[in-house]
Structure 1
Amino acid sequence: MQSLSVSSRYRVIRRLHVGGMAEVFLAVSEGTIARRVVIKRMLPELARLEEMRLRFAEEARLLSRLAGPGLPAVYDAGEDEEGPFLIEQFIPGLSLRELLDAAGPLGSPEVAAILVQALTILSRLHEARDESGRPLDFVHRDLAPENLLLDPEGKLWLLDLGIAKSRESQVRTQAGIRQGRAAYMAPEQLLGRKALAASDLYALALVGAELSGARLAGVPVHGDTTPAAEIERLARMEAAERAHWPDECDAELRAVIERLLTCDPASRVTHAGALAALDEIAEASGLSRRVMEALDAAGAEGRASPRTAVLPGGIAGSEPVKKSAVGRKKVAFGLVALTALAGGIWGLNRGEIAPESPPRSTSESVKTAVIPEGKVPVRVELPEPGVFALYLDGRALGQASGSRSIQVDPGTHTLLLTEESTNRYYREDFLTRLGETRLVRFPLGWEGDQESTQQGEKEDE
């Protein structure tokens, strides 16, 4: 990569968040035309690992190659005195996770409109070809509510291609290592097999089910080791077991989503089939009164005004409003306006936070009687034997072995474990809540074992 100085060309406004691979900053370009951008800075402790540097560069290369609607533009990538960097288009908006947190489950028209946009983006990516016309065989491998974002115009964006894979990828995945978030993995991914385009459709179907109010089943609390038997059980679940739907869910939408949740990838409905069915739901269904009033409150400029709008109680209108293609665009736009009004927050490129499922037992998340005010206790269990360097949200915690207790603020965090004498590392993203004790247990397998990665090359090709 070229040696370029970011500090001389961009002024950092603030840090947006720390992800598993990079710190993400909001910045503005210096000069007569000030343009807001996102700067991704690779975490220093990862920059020394060759595999991670390749993965970081791969994200820039893929975004550049796959440029188009729904993907942030790449303005620059390289390396300067502070390490590898990536300059991206800044997308204001709300992640689907934030949307769920602020507004709760969505109606079928809204869910269908979001999935139509997502499928359109994925269809273009999965069908991408190189200059000679050969398929790139692109697979995202990590679709989740955290890396799908709605902007103020209701347009969906796919963020974070950090573990995406294509035929041209220089990064090889270790055989048997599961890449992605267990809550949204397809059965073939859970079993350590090659991820396919159909694997992305499976993950998107789970996102759609969750947006509709379904509870994703059988997924352990993120950060805890998942026994092999649990992985096997999860991989064998049929659609009705993987997502538990509320009684009031829309039967037509559920049927489409469950056709994407079959265990056999070859049996899943195609992009085109899912698009046609979901488009019909979005076309034939009416906008709820809640969304319509939120649209009215947003005004002609298409921006929500949380100071003046008052949300009603979410009662469906008696007369459905028929929608054309333009109407379907308004559905997604109404979602963002509604959520901005309900939550009063706008996420900024929040694409690297892992999901959290409800705890399955008190051993995974237990109430504690005494905790420091405003802090959450976390117990970290490390592989044995060994001495490791531990990092929390990019900040060094020093060396540790056995187990260690730390205290963190409520919210999402990233723990990184490295072995100083090798290129091995492991990362865990986790969520903490006030009043709970959090357990983060690192498994014995390492993501960054270079020798094992080379041995697993053939299986992943």
Structure 2
Amino acid sequence: MTLATELGMLGRYRLRSRLASGGMAELFLAVLPGAEGFEKPVVIKRMLPRLAAQETYRQMFAQEARLMATFGHAHVVSALDFGVEQDSPYLVLEYVDGVDLGRVLGARRTLPPPLVRYVGLSLLHALEHVHGLRDARGELLGIVHRDISPANVLLGRTGNVKLTDFGIAKGLRTPSHTAPGSTRGRLRYMSPEQVQGGPLDGRADLFSLAVLLYEAVVGQGPFSATNDAQLLLAVRDARLAPTEDLRRTAGPALADVLLRALRRHPSERYATAGEMARALAAVDGTGESEQPWRVAEVVADTLTSEGTAPAASRGAGNRGPFSAALLELREDDS
């Protein structure tokens, strides 16, 4: 039997339930057992055996693990361990009890502007950390997430906001597994330079984040298109839909921050995540201290509306307490 059906142990981790399976990996809810009944919940991303035999995919998987090992921030999901069992690599990740932002927006379509601002600030602090990481010699690693989207933003029951899924993240000295001129990521959240397959820096992530925040406050993205071909051209040219809905819903100050980040040329956007965070922080922050519990409230409402069962009672084929979009389990995620 395989671990996917038998569960049991994977290295020193006890598998509790299988959350999802995709083209590249399986996702498990697990615990690290210890003495006197100690158990620490974790999430395990295990590479599928058929891909583990291929060196290119193994290197992609190991690359993700090495990148995540450098992170250490309250708003970034942590990598806790990496190992190989039965010749299949696995990555152990921090467990976030909650839902992803995509599920929240699917259930309620929009969030109030103060909450959008809070989520945006949390993610900008995460990106400021990731973009600013340096190696032992003090040189920038140049990490770009490349896949900022609602599915990769986790909201916890306790009000925490976490950025996840660095499966297609790229650093300055990270080997590329993407053919020249091709792209990785979700089209509707890409930057113009990413759509064109050009070189990327942190400003591409800021564009993607602005698309996400625009969608969260308005209820739809900033591009008008009826098919992928139209969407690709709209993203390539940063051709935005009329902004009246954004200004009316978000207010002029928040709208101005998002619209600057959505400019076509990277040089016209904010230079860094820190600069964009300062601009967003200057937007009226009424109720700032209330936002973490409002996140928790939104998570609870979403889980209630979905009728999500407690983790211990779910079957192996069901989603976890957070979305399986902790990672998009696709073969081409790198």
TM-score interval, smaller chain: 0.7 to 0.9
Gaps of 5+ in 2: 1-7, 309-320
Look at both structures and tell me which one has the larger radius of gyration over its CA atoms: 1
Match of 2:165 in 1: 160
- Secondary structure at the residue paired with 1:86? strand
Following TM superposition, by how much is the alpha carbon of 1:233 offset from its aligned partner in structure 2, in angstroms? 4.4
| More helix, by proportion | 2
Give CA deviations for 1:384-431 in whole Å, capped at 9, x if unaligned.
Answer: xxxxxxxxx8xxxxxxxxxxxxxxxxxxxx6x6xxxxxxxxx68xxxx
What is the DSSP-based 3-state SS (H/G/I as helix, E as strand, rest coil) of the residue aligned with 1:45? helix
- CA distance in structure 2 between the partners assigned to 1:6 and 1:187 by the alignment: 45
Task: Give the CA deviation at 1:341.
Answer: 4.3
Matching residue within 287, 298, 302 for 1:339: 302
Aligned to 2:31: 28
Q: Which runs of 5+ in 1 are unaligned?
A: 285-322, 354-392, 394-413, 417-425, 428-446, 448-461
Aligned-pair CA distance for 1:248: 4.5
**Cα 1:136/1:28, change in 2 over 3 Å:** same
**Equivalent-residue separation in structure 1 for 2:268 and 2:12 (angstroms):** 51
CA change 1:329–1:211 in 2 (3 A) is same
Contact map agreement 1:73 1:89 (CA 8 A) in 2: yes
1:35: Cα distance to partner?
Answer: 1.4
Match of 1:57 among 56, 62, 80: 62
State how 1:181-260 maps to structure 2 within 5 Å: 181-216=186-221, 217-218=223-224, 231-240=232-241, 245=245, 248-252=248-252, 253-260=254-261
The SS at the match of 1:35 is: strand
Identity of aligned residues (%): 30
- Mark the CA change 1:244 to 1:17 in structure 2 (over 3 Å): closer, same or farther: farther
- 1:329 match: 292
- SS of the residue corresponding to residue 215 of structure 1 reads coil
Among candidates 157, 168, 176, match of residue 171 of structure 1: 176
Name the CA shift for 1:29/1:282 in 2 (closer, same or farther; >3 Å): farther
Partner of 2:326: 351
Corresponding residue to 1:95 among 73, 93, 100: 100
1:27, CA displacement in angstroms? 1.1
**2:269 pairs with 1:268:** yes
The one-letter amino acid of 1:251's match is G
The structure-2 alpha-carbon separation of the partners of 1:11 and 1:202, relative to structure 1 and needing over 3 Å to count, comes to: same
Deviations along 1:274-326, one digit per CA (max 9) or x if unpaired, are 22332233513xxxxxxxxxxxxxxxxxxxxxxxxxxxxxxxxxxxxxx35x3
Q: 2:101·2:154 contact (CA, 8 Å) conserved in 1?
A: yes
**Does the residue aligned with 1:154 lie in a helix, a strand or coil?**
coil
Could you tell me which amino acid in structure 2 is paired with residue 281 of structure 1? V
Contact between 1:78 and 1:84, CA under 8 Å: does it hold in 2? yes
Query: SS in structure 2 opposite 1:169?
Result: coil
Give CA-to-partner distance per residue, 1:54-100, whole Å, 9 cap, x none: 11111111111122222233222122215111112211111000111
Residue 246 of structure 1: how far off its partner (Å) = 6.0
Match of 1:10 in 2: 13
Q: Do 1:136 and 1:167's aligned partners in 2 also have CA atoms closer than 8 Å?
A: yes
Amino acid of the structure 2 residue aligned with 1:249: T
Match of 2:218, SS state, is coil
Change (3 A) 1:171 1:164: same
Q: How far is the alpha carbon of 1:49 from its aligned partner?
A: 2.8
Deviations 1:370-391 (A, max 9, x none): xxxxxxxxxxxxxxxxxxxxxx
State the shift of 1:348 in Å.
4.4
Q: Is the 8 A contact 1:113 1:282 kept in 2?
A: no
Normalised to the residue count of structure 2, the TM-score between the two structures is 0.83
User: Partner of 1:258: helix, strand, or coil?
Assistant: helix
Deviations 1:108-147 (A, max 9, x none): 0011010010001001111111111111111000111001
Residues 191 and 204 of structure 2 are in contact (CA less than 8 Å); yes or no, is this contact kept in structure 1?
yes
CA deviation map 1:248-274 (0-9, x unaligned) = 412322221111100001101242342
2:20 and 2:169 map into 1 onto residues whose CA distance is 21
Please state how far the C-alpha of 1:244 moved relative to its aligned partner.
8.3
Are 1:239 and 1:258, in contact at CA under 8 Å, matched by a contact in 2?
A: no
- Which of structures 1 and 2 has the larger relative contact order (alpha carbons within 8 angstroms, sep 6+)? 2
2: CA distance between counterparts of 1:166 and 1:118?
19
How far, CA to CA, are the matches of 2:140 and 2:86 in structure 1?
37
Report if aligned partners of 2:32, 2:41 keep a CA contact under 8 Å in 1. Answer: yes
Q: Which amino acid aligns with 2:264?
A: C
Query: Does the 8 Å CA contact 1:112/1:282 hold for their aligned counterparts?
Result: no
Aligned equivalents of 2:20, 2:261: Cα separation in 1: 33
In 2: Cα distance, 1:280 partner to 1:274 partner:
10
Normalization by structure 1: what TM-score? 0.62
The answer for the alignment partner of 1:297 in structure 2 is none
The AA in structure 2 aligned to 1:347 is F
Q: Distance in 1 between matches of 2:284 and 2:298?
A: 14
| CA-based RMSD | 2.7
In 2, Cα distance between equivalents of 1:28 and 1:197: 35
Q: Any idea what SS the aligned residue of 1:17 has?
A: strand
Q: SS at the partner of 2:111?
A: coil
Q: Is the CA contact (8 Å cut-off) linking 1:64 and 1:73 kept in structure 2?
A: yes
- Matched residue type, 2:322: G
